[in-house]
Structure 1
């Protein structure tokens, strides 16, 4: 959806139907990134490993020095040598533009502050997903803004037919943003792909209709 929002007017010739373009514009597509921090030293030397997740809340009177810290909302211990942090929104986009080494330094200070331990070490390795700057995604997953509805997802998911009497579509749409119930999920993407494939399979294996009835594949 991120690529469609940017390039839908130039990717297709002829252009997509207007209802498709409006659905693409109406739906939201945001950025959520994961930050993995790997340590050679065991983390139980520095934090209480019985706590699986720490939720970060900032005092408005004492805001973070880095803007993207405001949207680092969760710190989870994956193993005794690995932490996972989540960042979202515009702050995640800013995070993606920052060099890994700088992020590592700044996050080390953040962890020392939140765990009240100045000896908390710098990570030996840092991995950041950077979905927002990936040219093939331009974001992480879809959401429904206040000015949109599930109807826009339904319109986006509809196949396109060359003629109303044809059973086989000339274009089908799949991806998490096309599932009305499970958008923003991997299983939603999988189910939508299966549905899109069934549109094509049904047209090849089922009897032709009379032009007035079209078989709709089940999700």
Structure 2
């Protein structure tokens, strides 16, 4: 399809081999000498006399600082990253800060972490004809409490049982992967942040031995995961979370303002993209992807118009 407006049925899709193959495909069209990997952009400044941008880079491997000049920048970092770094990176651009700072502050940025349980063989305990497992607790139902043995294990691992209980209560859903050797556990909100302090052994124990054992009535006891892998979205200082949302003080106008290009000389010098800038598909991969396409179209339209004017 040409746009995400044409998507039908469920908007949730599972990539069999993950996003790496998708990213590798996009990278295949870019010469390696035109990519700067392991480099952090620490400053962007516009020179209004030469009408050019200077971008300061810090190599994360050796700490070397370098500068490059360009006519345009497409900025795609998360709102979480902007909350911590926006004013510092664009410190020489007060008009840009005035344009976007309030919207960056207004928009919320949350965390949903995935714990991937890895098994040595295809799992045999998952119920037939069950795609996902969503825990539901009624108003009058008591939440699951840790027993004496579970508390003892957590104490041995230097984990506060109340924190472990908090993480278990934050499980949104559980689903098997297409290969059936993996089970994916989604943990959201403040519980997702708390889970980032747990090691692999504790995560596997919480998700398999306690959570799955409870909801699948002990059917998991004969098959244990060989390891647990978790995404650390909030701990990653280049992300600080995984999705934007409209907080109580935010509105769609904040997304619009965040999306607006910075035009210090009437030309789109810094064009903003990312899921938080999309008016319809925020908090999604396809929203992030489409926002990048839209940013490219803004520059393409300008360059084509400028080329026509020079003819």
Q: Same fold (TM over 0.5)?
A: yes
In the alignment, structure 1 segments of 5+ residues that lack a partner are 210-219
- Corresponding residue number in structure 1 for 2:99: 19
The within-5 A match list for 1:99-138 is 99-107=199-207, 108-117=209-218, 119-138=221-240
Task: Tell me the matched-pair count.
Answer: 206
In the alignment, structure 2 segments of 5+ residues that lack a partner are 1-78, 147-164
Q: Distance in 1 between matches of 2:203 and 2:231?
A: 13
- Residue 64 of structure 1 deviates from its aligned partner by 4.6
- Residue 129 of structure 1 deviates from its aligned partner by 1.2
Query: SS of the residue aligned with 1:206?
Result: helix
Q: For structure 1, which segment, 149-158 or 103-112, has the greater mean C-alpha deviation from structure 2 after superposition?
A: 103-112
- Residue 194 of structure 1 deviates from its aligned partner by 1.7
Which whole-Å deviations, capped at 9, do the CAs of 1:159-184 have from their partners, x for residues lacking one? 01113xx2x22211111111111111
Q: Is the 8 A contact 1:111 1:120 kept in 2?
A: no
* Distance verdict in 2 for CA 1:6–1:121, change over 3 Å: same
Q: Does 1:38 align with 2:118?
A: yes
- Corresponding residue number in structure 1 for 2:276: 177
- Residue 50 of structure 1 deviates from its aligned partner by 2.4
Q: Does 1:147 align with 2:225?
A: no
Query: SS of the residue aligned with 1:195?
Result: helix
Q: TM-score, normalised by structure 2?
A: 0.61
- Corresponding residue number in structure 2 for 1:10: 88
Q: For structure 1, which segment, 30-39 or 8-17, has the greater mean C-alpha deviation from structure 2 after superposition?
A: 8-17
Q: TM-score, normalised by structure 1?
A: 0.85
Query: Which of 29, 53, 74 is matched with 2:132 structurally?
Result: 53
CA RMSD of the aligned region, Å? Answer: 2.2
- Residue 207 of structure 1 deviates from its aligned partner by 4.7
